[in-house]
Amino acid sequence: MKFYRLPDVQARYGISRSTVYKWISEDKFPSPVMLGPRVSAWPEEKLDQFDETILTQNKRDASL
C-alpha cells in the first residue's frame, strides 16, 4: 500500500496546505491516517476513491 504525505497531496491536486485542511473540515476531502505519533499520510486508495467521486460528480453535472 502506498501513502501520500501532505506535499504529495498538494502536488497531486495543485492545492495549498490550507485548502487541504479546509476541505477536510468541510468533509469534502478524506482525512489522513496516522502512521506514527507525528506522521500522517493519505492511503492511495482513499485518494483514488476521492478522484472517482469527483469524476462521477463532474459527469453528472455535465449531463444536466
Strand duo 3-4 + 33-36: pairing: unpaired
Domain count, the chain: 1
> What is the reported pLDDT for 10?
98
Residues in Cβ contact with 4 at an 8 Å cutoff, skipping those fewer than 6 apart: 12, 41, 42, 43, 44, 47
In whole angstroms, give the CA distance from residue 12 to residue 38: 22
Could you tell me the pTM of the whole model?
Answer: 0.86
> What is the reported pLDDT for 44?
98
> What is the reported pLDDT for 3?
98
| Domain limits for position 11 | 3-62
Q: Give percent of the chain above pLDDT 70.
A: 98
At 64, the pLDDT band (50, 70, 90 cuts) reads low
